[in-house]
Amino acid sequence: MSSKSTSEKPNYSALADIYDLVMADVDYETWADYIDEIILEHNPETSDILELACGTGTIALSLEELDCYTITATDGSAQMVQKAIEKGERVHSEIEFLTMDFLDIRLQKTFDVVFMVFDSINYLHTEDEIIQLHAQVKNILKPGGIFIYDFTTPRNSRKAIQFLNNDQKEINGQTRYFRESTFDAKNRIHTNYFRIIKDSALNRGKEEVFEEKHHQKIYTHKEMLSIIKKTDFTILQAYDGFELRPAHERSLRITMVLQ
Ligand SMILES: C[S@@+](CC[C@H](N)C(=O)[O-])C[C@H]1O[C@@H](n2cnc3c(N)ncnc32)[C@H](O)[C@@H]1O
């Protein structure tokens, strides 16, 4: 007889196991090339890079293939970092992967570039937290160093829910997931609810269900500019999507380059 147990998990703990499969359609190689392009444009002498919120390390590992940079990569989720370490070991990577909250960065080194991608900053819900992140990054940047990150806009959330809501996939014979994606336009909160179902034969027919609820605060371009004004950074550029052209009011994703 089969039975079921359901447990709510911290963000990116249960999801870590299937994260790369959930993100299978994301073109991380192009994303890494885009970060490299920005570096070449704004700080071409870069050698030391820190990635924050690196997840399972895909972009860091892709950047390492360019053979130009010494890379440290951190994430707040120990489970995501563990996946990154395992992927790194498989390709004999020299990247140092560490578990670290980006609001409490503890590193002895300084860097030419600090970057974080894929709307990781949208996990910060208050202006104070965003200012704190910038202050943390400033402490570990070399003089003239740059901070690159992207955020998604309300327009993106309105579009994204159309294909993310009710997304479901069978990962392998034993694991499947279901995602509900909603956008509260008034409070500008984008919620992704993941339900991960593991039905392992080894588990004597017992179905295990893990739930994660991710809330992201969605900022407008104008809001982000006004927050950045309160930090010690100046804006070198705000780019539209994955292009090297300026962001505009219809941009879905904006990549900030700050010094
Ligand atoms: C959308 S994922 C992006 C991961 C990776 N950058 C990628 O492109 O696949 C967001 C990541 O932000 C991390 N994260 C969220 N809040 C964090 C925090 N306060 N400190 C460090 N990492 C955090 C999560 O653990 C997660 O790996």
pLDDT digits (tens, 9 = 90+) for 192-244: 999 999 886 556 667 889 999 999 999 999 999 999 999 999 999 999 999 99
**CA angle (15 as vertex; 173, 149 as ends), nearest 5:** 135
CATH of 3-19+155-217, picked from 3.40.50.720, 3.90.1150.10, 2.20.25.110, 3.40.50.10190, is 2.20.25.110
What is the rounded distance in angstroms from the CA atom of residue 144 to the CA atom of residue 113? Answer: 9
Q: Average of pLDDT values for 253-259?
A: 98
% of the chain exceeding 70 in pLDDT? 97
What residue ranges do the domains of the chain occupy? 3-19+155-217, 24-153+219-258
% of the chain exceeding 90 in pLDDT? 89
Q: Name which residue sits closest to atom 27 of ligand 1, judged by CA.
A: 55
User: Considering only 30-44, 162-176, 237-251, which range has the smallest mean pLDDT?
Assistant: 162-176
CA of 119 to the centre of ligand 1 (A): 8
Closest ligand 1 atom to residue 102 Cα is: 20
Q: What is the pTM of this model?
A: 0.96
Is residue 142 scored above 70 in pLDDT? yes
Contact 220, 250 (CB under 8 A): no
CA of 238 to the centre of ligand 1 (A): 21
Is residue 172 scored above 90 in pLDDT? no
Question: What pLDDT is attached to residue 204?
Answer: 61
Question: What pLDDT is attached to residue 200?
Answer: 65
Nearest alpha carbon to residue 227 among 109, 126, 90: 126
User: Considering only 35-44, 172-181, 209-218, which range has the smallest mean pLDDT?
Assistant: 172-181
Q: Name which residue sits closest to atom 16 of ligand 1, judged by CA.
A: 123
Question: What pLDDT is attached to residue 254?
Answer: 98
What is the rounded distance in angstroms from the CA atom of residue 5 to the CA atom of residue 58? Answer: 32
CA of 248 to the centre of ligand 1 (A): 25
Nearest alpha carbon to residue 72 among 111, 104, 36: 111
Q: Name which residue sits closest to atom 21 of ligand 1, judged by CA.
A: 76
Question: What pLDDT is attached to residue 4?
Answer: 74
CA of 98 to the centre of ligand 1 (A): 13
Closest ligand 1 atom to residue 12 Cα is: 25
Closest ligand 1 atom to residue 77 Cα is: 25
Helix (H, G, I), strand (E, B) or coil at 202: helix
CATH 3.40.50.1000 fits 24-153+219-258, yes or no: no
Q: Name which residue sits closest to atom 7 of ligand 1, judged by CA.
A: 55
Question: What pLDDT is attached to residue 174?
Answer: 83
pLDDT digits (tens, 9 = 90+) for 61-95: 999 999 999 999 999 999 999 999 999 999 999 99
CA of 3 to the centre of ligand 1 (A): 33
What is the rounded distance in angstroms from the CA atom of residue 179 to the CA atom of residue 168? Answer: 6
Question: What pLDDT is attached to residue 6?
Answer: 86
Buried b vs exposed e over 97-112: b needs ≥16 C-beta within 10 Å? bbebebeebeeeeebb
Nearest alpha carbon to residue 54 among 10, 87, 30: 87
Residue whose pair of structure tokens reads 């904006």 in the numeric block: 254
C-alpha atoms less than 13 angstroms from C-alpha of 157 in its C-beta half-sphere = 25
Question: What pLDDT is attached to residue 106?
Answer: 96
Chain-wide mean pLDDT for the chain?
Answer: 95
Q: How is residue 62 written in tokens?
A: 């892709």
CA of 66 to the centre of ligand 1 (A): 23
**222, β-bridge pairs:** none
Helix (H, G, I), strand (E, B) or coil at 97: strand
Is residue 1 scored above 80 in pLDDT? no
Q: Name which residue sits closest to atom 22 of ligand 1, judged by CA.
A: 76
CA of 75 to the centre of ligand 1 (A): 6
Contact 100, 79 (CB under 8 A): no
Mutate to test the pocket of ligand 1, among 17, 123, 156 (most ligand atoms within 8 A of CB): 123
Which residues have C-beta atoms less than 6 Å from ligand 1?
12, 23, 53-55, 58-59, 75-77, 80, 101-103, 117-118, 120, 123
Q: Average of pLDDT values for 168-193?
A: 93
Question: What pLDDT is attached to residue 2?
Answer: 57
CA of 129 to the centre of ligand 1 (A): 15
